Chain A
């Protein structure tokens, strides 16, 4: 059977076996991945996999199963097993599958990897790093090409096909000079092609330069409340926690700090956040959501006002609110008017927070953690990289206390994030 016929066969078998509603997602993937370890390009991987995900609803009871086999016997067994799972479950009328939508096929990205080019770009990255930043050690790098084809079908008539291929690059590095070692740092990017040298993408060059500067650190004495300029990578790690307060768990459990606040000002008016999975600007795009909807770009926060919660179909049914057709994982944070250099000049006493290594923020937004690879700012100038400095505050309050957003944004291939200046967070040294 061809891939689509396999998905159709599984869906038909689910319905004929007694499912009232059913969904089938069949994904096949191929990945080619070059690895560098401790400055040595040493491994090439080629991996194939399948994923067959089956969801059934019967008597308002849900069952989900996932296997990676596509032969008839394995599918027949999975169909039987998933109905048993549903039979074992408890009824909940909030379970559902996505409604009928117009059938569509989506395809983007290159069709096959250029292994020689991948190798050449990785060697070039290694050589450029050595040339520009001789004290920096590449701890690990991966450049891969990943291609997936998915068929998304359900018993309401949903029929989507999504084919995508992109390159991805990740590097982790540290620097060593005169026996002093910097904290590791890393960056990653998704790319449509390998036309540009890897060191010129995302924030690699900046972070490699900073790593070389960070072998000698200075501690800060005492603590102060000041301005923290959060870099795009650090802001991205805060954003995930912040947006989770709008999602199913916190909303269904009734513990969201943003309960009953759609239309309200929840953040500073300079902040707008969208999730645009279909944007042509991205290398890593999504056209179908995990819930089986055709993906739509979404304004989550506009000029500081909350536009929508981020509820799945189940979460929406449970809370009697609207669901979104968006997995909220392609962040576009609006750019500001001021350049980063100008923002730094405006800081009397503060921190350039380049990497945040912190505990999971509390349900009320409280967080604390270590300011890694970060710099002390005083009188508008970056003074020195800091050692063992912690940052604490509250995310909800912090997003209200934004004082500036940079005009530059980091392009990671899966989102656009600027530098964000926040006041009122506590910076504590020894």
Chain B
């Protein structure tokens, strides 16, 4: 249990200070071909403090959170800030300090299940796969739960408490193909504790059947043809495009580090069909996969419109970069563990839905591909991106054709977004995004389907 207040340490603050106590709790179970190969729980908790002196920062952390250790951490962070201030030649920053208070708790109200119930749940899914699809070469079922619980107090009086859980089941299958093993996997679940997300295993059976059908079609599929193609990117891929390829290039630290987006503010960067937003916590009345009401610098979180009808409108900021650019901070300073300092991070990034129907979009493509799912992705300061695509289909004369083998798509995002000529009217959100940037952190991404032109790395 985290302490209910950090107020008692206010008098130990020296100058601009953030004090955060945090616990991350993980549960992980893996069944490989029916055997429990991992059965793990972990907890990582402690106290972290960040202090600013003359515009330079000191951070310190310790796993203990008794009165003595908290004071020692505050002292160490201040000492580090002083070390930097003594070496550097900088000025105090006149931060915009708007005090706020937030509290957000998604702890389930239901009785918690024990590890045995979790394992039985996974075992049921595994039995279903084994009995229904005995010809599979391998199968695995992974359960991954993460609870992130934090409490923050800043020297200017902002306070935050959040308990943000995420629960996922991952199903992975492979079959023996003509040219070696052919694999496919998918994630299920999302925001909330396991008990609020998953009811009974049979609710996932139809998803397993769909995954298996895709796998069989992929095994019988063809290699994509390399080169520039017209593609329809389904929502998962449009989401990762929004996050990786655009989102990262407009994070203010990347902008200051040389991103191509620096000179593009206020300019046309995409088709007018594209409006791209990093949402703080909710959209269309629903809570998003990674709700952030206050960030780890104590800024109350607001939506950030990045591209509005094709025009680049904003960068994403922490307090320091917002001051540098003269923009408003909207709550992007986030840390993963107690021992991490806040970095500029996205929350829930998506292109807004348009007016087209997915069927119309597919039927408008003479020779191209319908890409459904990303594996990994990477972007660049030039906005050039790459995503692995483990699931997609050919489009021939407006109709879906054969499935394609694993491939990679790439392009320069600001160029690719200029080719967007159709955006679907449906919106869906991914449930398992993790972003790596010094620290990993859960992120949300989603969107409609978009039609555009990009490069395929096939044969």
- Chain A's closest residue to B183 (CB) is A363
A391 to B87 CA separation, bound complex (whole angstroms): 46
B176 partner residues in chain A, CB cutoff 8 A? 255
Which residues from A are CB-within-8-Å of B118?
88
Query: Is the CB–CB distance between A90 and B384 below 8 Å?
Result: no
The answer to whether A139 and B257 have CB atoms under 8 Å apart is yes
User: Contact: A183 with B382, CB < 8 Å?
Assistant: yes
Question: Looking at the complex, which of A154-162, A288-296, A303-311, A365-373 is the stretch in contact with chain B?
Answer: A365-373
Complex contacts, B412 vs chain A, CB 8 Å? 388
Assembly CA distance A63 to B36 (angstroms): 10
- Pick from A87, A257, A360: contact of B388, CB below 8 A: A360
Give Cα A174 to B262, complex, Å: 13
Q: How far, in Å, is A112 (CB) from chain B's closest CB?
A: 15
Interface pair B88/A41, CB less than 8 Å apart: yes
Partner of A67 from the list B32, B43, B386 (CB cut-off 8 Å) is B43
Query: Do residues A370 and B410 form an inter-chain contact, with CB atoms below 8 A?
Result: yes
Q: Does A254 contact B (CB under 8 A)?
A: yes
Residue B210, interface by CB 8 Å = no
Q: In whole angstroms, what is the CA distance A386 to B455 when docked?
A: 15
Q: How far apart are A44's CB and chain B's nearest CB, in angstroms?
A: 4
Docked-complex contact A44 and B57, CB < 8 angstroms = yes
Min CB distance B227 to A, Å, is 6
Interface string of B55-90 (1 = CB under 8 A from A): 111111111100000000000110011011001100
Cα separation A350 to B272 with both chains bound (whole Å): 39
Q: With a CB–CB cut-off of 8 A, which chain B residues contact A46?
A: 59-61, 76-77, 80
Tell yes or no: A261 within 8 A of B by CB.
no
Does A6 interact with chain B (Cβ within 8 Å)?
no
The verdict on A430 contacting B228 (CB below 8 Å), with A85-B39, A357-B378, A392-B458 known, is yes
B387 at the binding interface (Cβ < 8 Å) = yes
Are the C-beta atoms of B384 and A183 separated by less than 8 Å? yes
Q: Does A101 interact with chain B (Cβ within 8 Å)? A: no
B263 at the interface (CB under 8 A from A): yes
Q: Are A42 and B57 in contact (CB under 8 A)?
A: yes
**A41:B84 contact, CB within 8 angstroms:** yes
Complex partner residue of B123 from A82, A90, A318, A372, CB under 8 angstroms = A90
Cα A241 to Cα B42 with chains together (Å): 27
Cα A358 to Cα B386 with chains together (Å): 7
Known contacts A43-B57, A62-B39, A390-B457; 9 further A-B pairs (Cβ under 8 A)? A47-B62, A63-B39, A65-B41, A358-B457, A359-B406, A369-B386, A370-B408, A390-B408, A428-B226
CB proximity of B449 to chain A, nearest CB, Å = 20
22 contacts between A and B (CB under 8 A): A68-B44, A68-B63, A85-B115, A137-B257, A137-B258, A172-B257, A173-B258, A179-B263, A183-B381, A253-B174, A357-B380, A359-B386, A359-B408, A363-B181, A364-B177, A366-B405, A366-B406, A368-B407, A369-B388, A370-B457, A388-B455, A426-B459
Give the CA-CA distance A257 to B177 in the complex, in Å. Answer: 12
B129 to chain A, nearest CB (A): 13
Segment 336-386 of B: residues with Cβ below 8 Å from A: 339, 341, 375-376, 378, 380-382, 384, 386
Residue of B nearest to A70 (CB): B63
Task: State whether B411 touches A388 (Cβ < 8 A).
Answer: yes
Q: A38-B256, A46-B59 are in contact. Are A119 and B87 (CB under 8 A)?
A: yes
Cβ distance B403 to chain A, nearest Cβ, rounded Å: 14
Once A181-B259, A253-B138 are accepted as A-B contacts, the answer to whether A67 and B42 lie under 8 Å apart by CB is yes
Please, which residues of chain B bring their CB within 8 A of the CB of A367? 408
B77 to chain A, nearest CB (A): 8
Q: Once the chains bind, are A430 and B57 in contact (CB under 8 Å)?
A: no
Q: Is the CB of A66 within 8 A of B45?
A: no
Q: Which 9 A-B pairs have the closest CB atoms?
A: A359-B388, A364-B180, A139-B257, A253-B138, A368-B457, A88-B116, A38-B256, A363-B181, A66-B42
B408 touches A363 (CB 8 A): no
The answer to whether A88 and B115 have CB atoms under 8 Å apart is yes
Given A87-B116, A181-B381, A369-B457, are A359 and B375 neighbors across the interface (CB < 8 Å)? Answer: yes
Beta-carbon contact of A44 and B381 below 8 Å: no
B144 at the interface (CB under 8 A from A): no
B79 to A, closest residue via Cβ: A46
Count how many chain A residues have C-beta atoms less than 8 Å from C-beta atoms of the other chain: 81
Q: Which residues on A sit within 8 Å (CB–CB) of B387?
A: 359
Q: How large is the interface on B (under 10, 10 to 19, 20 to 34, 35 or more residues)?
A: 35 or more
Contact of B179 among A42, A137, A364 (CB under 8 A): A364
Q: Mark B21-34, 1 if CB is under 8 A from A, else 0.
A: 00000000000110
User: What are the residues of chain B within 8 A of A37 when measuring CB–CB?
Assistant: 253, 256-257
CB pair B458–A368 under 8 Å, yes or no, is: yes
- Contacts A43-B57, A252-B32, A359-B386 given; indicate if A90 touches B408 (C-beta within 8 A): no
Cross-chain contact B260 with A181 (CB below 8 angstroms) = yes
Chain B CB within 8 A of A401 CB = no
B87: A residues at CB distance < 8 A: 41, 119
A88 CB to closest chain B CB (Å) equals 4
A183 B380 Cβ-Cβ under 8 A = yes
Pairwise interchain contact B382-A182, C-beta atoms closer than 8 A: yes
B287 an interface residue at 8 Å Cβ cutoff?
A: no
> Which residues on B sit within 8 Å (CB–CB) of A107?
none
Give a binary string over A112-141; 1 marks a CB under 8 Å from any B CB, 0 the rest. Answer: 000100010000000000000000011110
Chain A residue with Cβ nearest B27: A85
Number of A-B residue pairs at CB separation under 8 A: 264
B131 within 8 A of A: no
Complex partner residue of B138 from A41, A49, A63, A254, CB under 8 angstroms: A254
Taking CB atoms, residues of chain A closer than 8 Å to B436 are none
B397 at the interface (CB under 8 A from A): no
| Distance between Cα atoms of A37 and B59 in the complex (Å) | 15
User: Distance (Å) between the CB of B226 and the closest chain A CB?
Assistant: 4
Closest to A71 in B: B64
Please tell me if B37 contacts chain A, counting CB pairs below 8 Å.
yes
Cβ-defined contact, B40 with A64, below 8 A? yes
Q: Does A314 contact B (CB under 8 A)?
A: yes
Question: Could you tell me the distance between the alpha carbons of A50 and B381 in the complex, rounded to whole angstroms?
Answer: 36
B33: nearest chain-A partner, CB-CB: A253
B200 within 8 A of A: no
Q: Which residue of B lies closest to A92 (CB)?
A: B35
Least Cβ distance of A312 to chain B in Å? 10
**Is B305 among interface residues, defined by CB-CB distance under 8 A?**
no
Quick one: given A48-B61, A63-B39, A68-B45, are A42 and B56 in contact (CB under 8 Å)?
yes
Contacts of A106 in B (CB 8 A): none
Chain B 227-240 against A: per-residue CB contact (8 Å), 1 yes, 0 no?
A: 11000000000000
Question: For residue A369, which residues in chain B have a CB less than 8 angstroms away from its CB?
Answer: 386, 388, 408, 410, 457
> Which residues of chain B (181-221) have a CB below 8 Å from chain A?
181-183
* Minimal Cβ-Cβ distance residue in B for A74: B43
Q: Which residues from A are CB-within-8-Å of B228?
A: 430
Residues of B within 8 A of A357 (CB): 378, 380, 386, 410
CB nearest to A182 among chain B residues = B382
Q: At the interface, yes or no: B137 with Cβ under 8 Å from chain A?
A: yes
Q: From B63, B405, B408, give the contact of A358 (CB < 8 A).
A: B408
Chain B residue numbers with a CB within 8 Å of A176 are 258
The answer to whether A223 touches B382, judged by C-beta atoms less than 8 angstroms apart, is no
B143 at the interface (CB under 8 A from A): no
Residue B254 at the A interface, CB < 8 A? Answer: yes
Nearest residue, chain A, Cβ from B30: A249
What sequence of 0s and 1s flags, for each residue 109-134 of chain B, a beta carbon within 8 Å of any chain A beta carbon?
00000111011000100000000000
- Give bound CA distance, A257 to B174, whole Å: 13
Contact B459–A392 (Cβ < 8 Å): yes
Q: For A138, list chain B residues within 8 Å (CB).
A: 257
Q: In the complex, A142→B263 CA distance in Å?
A: 27
With CB as the reference atom, state the residue of chain B lying closest to A37. Answer: B253
Q: Which A residues are CB-close (under 8 A) to B411?
A: 388
- For B61, B83, B260, B382, which residue has the most chain A Cβ atoms within 10 angstroms? B382
Any chain B CB within 8 A of the CB of A175? Answer: yes
Chain A hits for B38, CB < 8 A: 62, 64
Q: Does B46 contact A (CB under 8 A)?
A: yes
Segment 36-81 of A: residues with Cβ below 8 Å from B? 37-38, 41-50, 61-69, 81
The residues of B that contact A82 with a CB separation of less than 8 Å are 41
